[in-house]
Structure 1
Amino acid sequence: MKSFALQGSIFCGCALLVVQVTMCSGDIMKNADKSPRIVMPKAGTIPVRLGNNFKISCVAEPRFADKSFSIIYWLVNNTFIETTYPHGRVKEDKERSYTKNGKYYITRSLMFATVTQPDLNSNFTCVVITPAGQDSKNVVLEVLNRS
């Protein structure tokens, strides 16, 4: 049996349990009911022309006080863009932010150097995440009718 000393007392054959308590900052608690929301694009289909370049913008309102805790990104078929398109035919633009009418927004665009037939069979998802929650919107591309 091993013994050890803790603050002047000797303990024999006992287990020491350490409990760590992490306190949330006041900002996180104040924002708990303010999940982010994507304002653009709306879920659904987006018309495109095969062979053309194309850009889809995703705009989100993080609604979280500390702007450094927000992230926005795109997925294709639930996979990261750079994994599905390693040669960069489709890629994400840099994350940008702006304020309009007193509201803070973040945006990230998905850029197609050329829209191809396989893109029409893919599900593109914009995701925004903050400590208060997340939101996502799914879009699919469809060929623009030439009327």
Structure 2
Amino acid sequence: MPSAPGFLFLAFLWSCTCFHGTDSAAKLPPSVSIPQAYKPLFGQKMNVSCQGYTTYPSSGIIYWLANGTFVHDLYSEEEVLQEDTIEKANGTGLILRRSLIFRSFTTKDWCTTFECIVVDPSGLAQKTLTWETSDPADPKLNREKKPRKWECTCIGKGRMPS
């Protein structure tokens, strides 16, 4: 019968050999990035891009959520759409890019929380889109070009300004 220290050493060697060949532990979790803040113009068409990275080229996905639900569920009349995903190989991973298209930016869009999500077998990464603008009614803010975050309150499905 093998001695306890010798047996433990053999078990350790076996575990290192068995798990050394799998690269799942070496894979990085997904990442996602969007610009810090967008300054929308009400009534204008606008595209917002999100970029993600996954080390799982065959199973990583990227998508947008609007108030925690799929964009097409909140915007059933297609006022806001997601473009198809663009994929580009990058070393051992994959760069994913997906844009939101706002046909005519509205108060509903301003008051909706948009999140870009990248998911793969190692986990999930997400970023929330931030809107910034100057209040056109405040000449001091316009002159100094200081951004102001507007607050919204929930009313029904969409969120409208308070």
TM-score in terms of structure 1 length:
0.70
Greater relative contact order (CA < 8 Å, ≥ 6 in sequence): 1
Q: Please tell me whether the aligned partners of residues 46 and 104 of structure 2 are also in contact (alpha carbons under 8 angstroms).
A: yes
Residue 118 of structure 1 and its aligned partner are, at CA, apart by 1.5
Q: Which of these residues, 24, 45, 50, is aligned with residue 42 of structure 2?
A: 50
Detail structure 1 runs of 4+ shifted over 3 Å in the superposition: 99-103, 142-147
- SS at the partner of 2:132? strand
Q: Report the structure, 1 or 2, having the larger helix content.
A: 2
Name 2:99's counterpart in structure 1. 109
Structure 2 stretches of 5 or more lacking a match?
1-18, 136-141, 146-162
Residue 144 of structure 1: how far off its partner (Å): 5.5
Task: Give the number of equivalent residue pairs.
Answer: 116
Change (3 A) 1:102 1:59: same
For residues 111 and 135 of structure 1, what CA distance do their matches in structure 2 show? 21
Residue type matched to 2:38 in 1? I
Structure 1: gaps spanning 5 or more residues: 1-25
Tell me which protein shows more strand as a share of its residues: 1
Superposition CA RMSD, Å: 2.3
Normalised by the size of structure 2, how large is the TM-score? Answer: 0.64
